[in-house]
């Protein structure tokens, strides 16, 4: 079967134009989400909030009207978006816990050697490994919110469809995430403030990738 190709340069530049055209909703919507999530209990509703940002990105990309209410559209689909957000968070947390034990043991072993370079290297590698669950979950399940937006009503089925979509075109998605990771690093280098610009831009690019996959699937089925 023909794989969907991602013209990465065009997607990144087109994504930037969509982001700028809808700057107020995407930028301040992402900022609002972060403020709510940083409140502590706010992380429970990460699913509905993230769905709203994805909805705005997808609507803007498709040239459809976008309004501020769309940022909170996840609360109209509360149960599936809540479950999806909690499941993704649980997978990330579980993976970090599984990796934390060997990282802690390795760090303690390095401490007993009284070698500062070894301790620093072990700790740095260990902290990097804890990012693996985040990367894996985002890689396989980033399209899931778009799938919910396009009509799927079950969070688990949306995750399964997302996983199949990515796995069947893993090379293109890996390339996409490599580029998005560079954008993310660039945001971090700007004293982390750049992340508030880069993240909604990344969501738009992910929406483009999902839309390309969806269109290719529709053409293959017709």
Going from the first residue of the chain to its last (222 residues), give the mean pLDDT of each consecutive group of 10, the final group possibly shorter.
85 95 92 81 85 96 93 94 94 84 74 73 72 89 96 95 95 95 84 81 96 88 62
Decide: residue 99, CB within 10 A, 0-12 exposed, 13-18 middle, 19+ buried: middle
Cα(83)–Cα(68) distance, rounded to whole angstroms?
Answer: 23
Residue 119 is predicted with a pLDDT of 66
Residue 222 is predicted with a pLDDT of 59
Which of 219, 152, 184, 211 has the alpha carbon at shortest distance from 18?
A: 211
Which of 195, 87, 96, 77 has the alpha carbon at shortest distance from 146?
A: 77
Q: Which residues contact 126 (CB under 8 A, 6 or more apart)?
A: 99, 103, 104, 106, 107
Residue 33 is predicted with a pLDDT of 85
**pTM for the full model?**
0.88
Residue 96 is predicted with a pLDDT of 80
Residue 106 is predicted with a pLDDT of 73
Residue 78 is predicted with a pLDDT of 94
């Amino acid at each position: 079967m023909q794989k969907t190709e991602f013209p990465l340069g065009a997607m990144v530049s087109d994504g930037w134009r969509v982001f700028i055209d809808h700057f107020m909703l995407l930028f301040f919507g992402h900022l609002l989400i972060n403020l709510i999530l940083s409140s502590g209990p706010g992380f429970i509703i990460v699913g509905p909030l993230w769905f709203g940002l994805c909805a705005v990105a997808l609507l803007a990309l498709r040239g459809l009207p976008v309004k501020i209410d769309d940022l909170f559209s996840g609360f109209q689909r509360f149960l599936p978006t809540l479950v999806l957000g909690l499941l993704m968070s649980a997978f990330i947390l579980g993976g970090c816990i599984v990796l934390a034990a060997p990282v802690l043991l390795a760090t303690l072993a390095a401490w007993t050697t009284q070698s500062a370079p070894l301790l620093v290297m072990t700790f740095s590698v260990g902290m990097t490994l804890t990012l693996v669950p985040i990367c894996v979950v985002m890689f396989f399940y980033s399209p899931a919110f778009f799938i919910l937006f396009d009509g799927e009503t079950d969070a688990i089925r949306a995750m399964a469809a997302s996983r199949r979509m990515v796995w069947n075109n893993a090379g293109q998605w890996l390339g996409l995430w490599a580029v998005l990771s560079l954008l993310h690093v660039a945001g971090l280098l700007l004293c982390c403030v750049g992340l508030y610009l880069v993240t909604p831009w990344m969501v738009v690019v992910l929406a483009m990738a999902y839309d390309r996959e969806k269109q290719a699937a529709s053409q293959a089925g017709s």
